[in-house]
């Protein structure tokens, strides 16, 4: 079993729709939960990070963590064509090494 599972997509949505992304993980030692956005040929950019179970909101982005189910989600409201990118979930246990999911490609169509 992979340590992190993430659907590669692509996930295609019309502009203005809600984008829903998720990852499951198996490592109970993961303490920090993050989402990165990566545009083509660019480095990943940190969007959200959370520590505890529950929701965290930042503008159009909401991150959810359910530690009991080992499941994290990212929601993007009022999606824009500029949100078209690959979204990577990332996890950190003790120490500072991040473990990434494979990424989900998102296409927001005008």
Partner 1 sequence: DSGVTQTPKHLITATGQRVTLRCSPRSGDLSVYWYQQSLDQGLQFLIQYYNGEERAKGNILERFSAQQFPDLHSELNLSSLELGDSALYFCASSVEVQGSGYTFGSGTRLTVV
User: Which residue ranges make up the site for partner 1 (CB under 8 A)?
Assistant: 32, 34, 36, 41-46, 49, 51, 88, 90, 95-103
**Residue among 18 and 46 whose Cβ is closer to partner 1:** 46
The DSSP output letter for 51 is -
Residue 28 C-beta: closest distance to partner 1, Å: 18
For the CA atoms of 11, 39, 3, 61, what is the dihedral angle to 10 degrees? -70
Beta strand pairing call for 11-14 and 104-109: parallel
Residue 14 C-beta: closest distance to partner 1, Å: 28
Residue 55 C-beta: closest distance to partner 1, Å: 17
Q: Is the peptide bond before 10 cis (omega within 30 degrees of 0)?
A: yes
* CB hemisphere CA count around 108 (13 angstroms): 18
**Residue among 16 and 39 whose Cβ is closer to partner 1:** 39
**Residue among 70 and 105 whose Cβ is closer to partner 1:** 105
């Amino acid at each position: 079993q992979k340590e992190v599972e993430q659907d590669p997509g692509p996930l295609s949505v019309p502009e203005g729709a809600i984008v829903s992304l998720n990852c499951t993980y198996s490592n109970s030692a993961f303490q920090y939960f993050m989402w990165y956005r990566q545009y083509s040929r660019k480095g990943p950019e940190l969007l959200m990070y959370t520590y505890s179970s529950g929701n965290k909101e930042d503008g159009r982005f909401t991150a959810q963590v359910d530690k009991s189910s080992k499941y994290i989600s990212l929601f993007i409201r009022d999606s824009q064509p500029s949100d078209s990118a690959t979204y990577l979930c990332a996890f950190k246990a003790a120490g500072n090494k991040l473990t990434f999911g494979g990424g989900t490609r998102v296409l927001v169509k005008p």
